[in-house]
Amino acid sequence: MRFGDVVMAVATMAVILALIGFPLALVFVSAGLGFEKGLDIGVFFSLFLSALIGGYIFAGKIWESRREAITKITVLWAALWSLLVTIIPATVAHWGQVSEESFREMFPGKSWTTLSNAERMGWEMLDNGAFLFMVVAIALVLGFIGLYAGSMLRKPSKSQK
C-alpha cells in the first residue's frame, strides 16, 4: 500500500467520523447518559465505526499487504488524533477549569490557589498528556480492530489473488 493510499484511507476515516460523530454523541447524550459519558461513548463508537467503514472501503488495498497496511493506516490515524487532542485545550474555553477540577479530585487536601503558575501549568500539561495518551491508545486499538474487521467483511475474490 502506497503512502498516498494510506493518507486517503485516513482522510476517508476522518470524514466518516465527522459525519457520524455528532449524531452518535447526540444519541448517547439524549439517551440519558449525560454529557460526559454520552460524549465519551459517542466518540468511542465513532472511532470504531469510522475505522470499520474505512477498512471495508479500502479492503482491496489492505489485502495486498494486510498487516503492514493496517499498521500504517492505524499509526497515521493515531497521529491525526494526537494532533487534534493537542489542539483541544486551546480551543475549548473551559479546559483549564476541568483540569482544575481533576486536580482537586486527585489531591483533596491541596488548594489550587496556593499553587504557583508554573505548578498549575505543569498540572494542566500533565492532565493534557494523560488525555493524549488515552485518546491515542484508544485510536490505535479501535483503529486496528475496525480496519481488520472492516477488511474482513469484504474479502477479495479469488480471481484477484
When pLDDT is cut at 50, 70 and 90, the band that residue 1 belongs to is confident
- Evaluated on CA atoms 114, 119, 125, 130, the torsion sign reads negative
Domain ranges of the chain: 3-160
Kindly give the residue spans of alpha helices, DSSP state H, lying in the chain.
3-28, 34-57, 59-64, 66-91, 95-106, 117-153
Q: Quick one: pLDDT band at residue 161, thresholds 50, 70, 90?
A: very low
* pTM assigned to the model: 0.82
Is the pLDDT at 139 greater than 70, yes or no?
yes
Give the pLDDT band (50/70/90) at residue 47: very high
